[in-house]
């Protein structure tokens, strides 16, 4: 039983006890890793464990069983420290049976959800004002990165239309008030992480195309500029 778990990254190679006190670590040759580590802190001291790629897949909170089901579950990316994490987003939209529609969230900002619903009402013509909306970030993760906006929006639309999306699709983009899909930082790292985890398509902002550069990815990168374009591509 451990008391606290945190994720750290080694930015500098520090010698001996100084490295231990700082919580940083390096490999046997003294070179820093660009990896994530789960650090378990106990009363007796600190124990480090490096997560491999197959372990990181489970640490992201993406449940493959739910993805394979393909029901109103989308995957977005959150940049934590220096390595992007793929986050599973679940949404449920139902007809409201009370006077005031419910807005229930877990792991996400309620005000951000209300903002996205207002964008869908105004820019897309969807009638969420008479719907109960439930949003869940799987795995008990609290997400603050705005790049999750596009995944949340698509999960809402999937439940609204009752049309499941492919479990091999993920999203990375911020949604603005005018319905535009805004660029996010570290887009190449996000795309590379999605490709590594076996996704086939990733939707990103068209304003991120310069950030992608000339690097070739096996995953299909779909640039979109507005909410309407996303809807036409997926539904």
Q: How far apart are CA 189 and CA 79, in angstroms?
A: 9
Ranges of H-type helices in the chain: 16-22, 53-59, 64-69, 110-124, 149-161, 187-196, 209-212, 227-234
Dihedral of CA 159/165/171/177: which sign?
negative
pLDDT at position 203 is 97
Could you report the per-residue pLDDT of 33-68, keeping only the tens digit for each?
455 545 455 555 444 443 444 443 434 445 555 455
- Domain segments of the chain as ranges: 4-51, 57-234
User: What is the spatial distance between Cα 170 and Cα 184, in angstroms, rounded to a whole number?
Assistant: 14
Mean pLDDT of 170-194: 95
pLDDT of residue 210: 80
The answer on pLDDT for 32 being more than 90 is no
Among 7-16, 23-32, 34-43, 45-54, top mean pLDDT goes to 34-43
Percentage with pLDDT > 90 across the chain: 57
CATH number for region 57-234 = 3.30.230.10
Q: What is the pLDDT of residues 65-103, one digit of tens each?
A: 545 555 566 666 655 456 789 999 999 999 998 888 999
Cβ distance 76 to 116 under 8 Å? no
Question: How much is the pLDDT for 63?
Answer: 54
The predicted-structure confidence for 105-133, as pLDDT tens digits, reads as follows: 999 999 999 999 999 999 999 999 999 99
At 147 the three-state DSSP class reads: helix
What is the chain's mean pLDDT, rounded?
77
């Amino acid at each position: 039983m451990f008391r606290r778990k945190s994720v750290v990254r080694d930015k500098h190679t520090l010698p001996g006890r100084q490295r231990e006190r700082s919580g940083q670590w390096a490999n046997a040759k003294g070179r820093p890793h660009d990896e994530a580590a789960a650090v378990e802190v106990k009363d007796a001291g600190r124990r480090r464990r490096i997560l491999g790629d197959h372990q990181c897949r489970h640490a992201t909170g993406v449940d493959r069983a739910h993805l394979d089901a393909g029901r109103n579950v989308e995957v977005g990316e959150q940049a934590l420290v220096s390595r992007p994490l793929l986050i599973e987003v679940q949404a449920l939209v139902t007809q409201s049976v009370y006077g005031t529609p419910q807005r229930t969230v877990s792991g996400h900002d309620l005000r951000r959800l209300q903002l996205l619903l207002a964008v869908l009402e105004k820019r897309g013509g969807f009638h969420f004002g008479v719907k109960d909306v439930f949003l869940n970030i799987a795995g008990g993760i609290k997400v603050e990165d705005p790049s999750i906006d596009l995944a949340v929006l698509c999960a809402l639309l999937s439940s609204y239309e009752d049309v499941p999306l492919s479990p091999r699709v993920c999203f990375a983009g911020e949604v603005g008030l005018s319905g535009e899909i805004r660029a996010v930082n570290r887009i190449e790292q996000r795309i590379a992480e999605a490709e590594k985890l076996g996704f086939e398509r990733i939707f990103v902002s068209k304003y991120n195309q310069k950030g992608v550069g000339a690097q070739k990815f096996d995953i299909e990168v779909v640039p979109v500029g507005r909410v309407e374009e996303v809807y036409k591509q997926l539904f």
